């Protein structure tokens, strides 16, 4: 046996890692989709018949996505869904996951919101693709965030890379990404 032999154990390990990477990519499509108000990207994280129980709202995938993007657009000027620790239990074409999240949203009225919780998901692989089939959002804590006052010159430096956009004009869609001074 050499280091290049694909043993059954190695093949099984590679399949498992691919499944985990595909599920992680699904989770990231959701967070980027909602934060950029990219409906198609957000929907690509769900099966069309998926159901999301989010506490404040619930529904089948398309209805929930429309509600989420509409709610964030109406009540907040920008927001971030950040995912952290994630456990995934694989079982054939079904997987169950628990992923911790942090949410920050700059509200149109009042101080920003800071929230913590978990996404508890059932994923299904259909035609080789992993997506959410059912989600329960467990909201652990939600409160107000009070940011420290920063000198105006610091703010100017922090935000010179461009505004946070909730559409495809956001810098995260720019291809290729180049230095701003190279484009001047």
Q: What is the pLDDT of residue 149?
A: 84
Q: What is the pLDDT of residue 163?
A: 66
Q: Are the beta carbons of 124 and 94 closer than 8 angstroms? A: yes
Domains in the chain: boundaries: 8-155
Q: What is the pLDDT of residue 138?
A: 96
Q: What is the pLDDT of residue 181?
A: 59
Q: What is the pLDDT of residue 1?
A: 62
Q: What is the pLDDT of residue 183?
A: 54
Q: How many CB atoms lie within 10 A of CB 159?
A: 10
Q: What is the pLDDT of residue 158?
A: 72
Tokens, residue 89: 């239990």
Q: What is the pLDDT of residue 165?
A: 80
Question: Which option is the CATH number for 8-155: 3.10.450.50, 3.40.50.970, 3.40.50.300, 1.10.286.10?
Answer: 3.10.450.50
Q: Which residues contact 101 (CB under 8 A, 6 or more apart)?
A: 81, 82, 83, 84, 116, 117, 118, 119
pTM: 0.86
Question: How do the pLDDT tens digits run along the chain, 184 residues long?
Answer: 677 788 999 999 999 999 999 999 999 999 999 999 999 999 999 999 999 999 889 999 999 999 999 999 999 999 999 999 999 999 999 999 999 999 999 999 999 999 999 999 999 999 999 999 999 999 999 999 887 888 888 777 776 776 678 888 888 888 888 876 565 5
């Amino acid at each position: 046996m050499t280091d290049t032999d694909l043993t059954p154990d190695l093949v099984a390990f590679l399949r498992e890692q691919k499944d985990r990477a595909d599920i992680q990519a699904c989770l990231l499509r959701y967070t980027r989709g909602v934060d950029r108000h990219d409906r198609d990207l957000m929907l690509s994280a769900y099966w069309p018949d998926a159901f999301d129980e989010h506490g404040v709202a619930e529904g089948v995938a398309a209805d929930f996505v429309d509600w989420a993007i509409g709610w964030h657009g109406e009540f907040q000027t920008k927001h971030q869904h950040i995912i952290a620790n994630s456990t995934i239990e694989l079982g054939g074409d079904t997987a169950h996951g628990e992923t911790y999240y942090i949410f920050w949203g700059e509200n149109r009225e009042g101080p920003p919101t800071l929230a913590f919780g978990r996404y508890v998901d059932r994923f299904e692989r259909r035609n080789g693709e992993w997506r959410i089939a059912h989600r329960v959002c467990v909201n652990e804590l939600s409160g107000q965030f009070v940011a420290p006052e920063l000198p105006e010159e610091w703010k100017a430096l922090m935000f010179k890379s461009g505004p946070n956009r909730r559409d495809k004009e956001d810098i995260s869609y720019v291809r290729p990404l180049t230095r701003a001074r190279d484009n001047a």
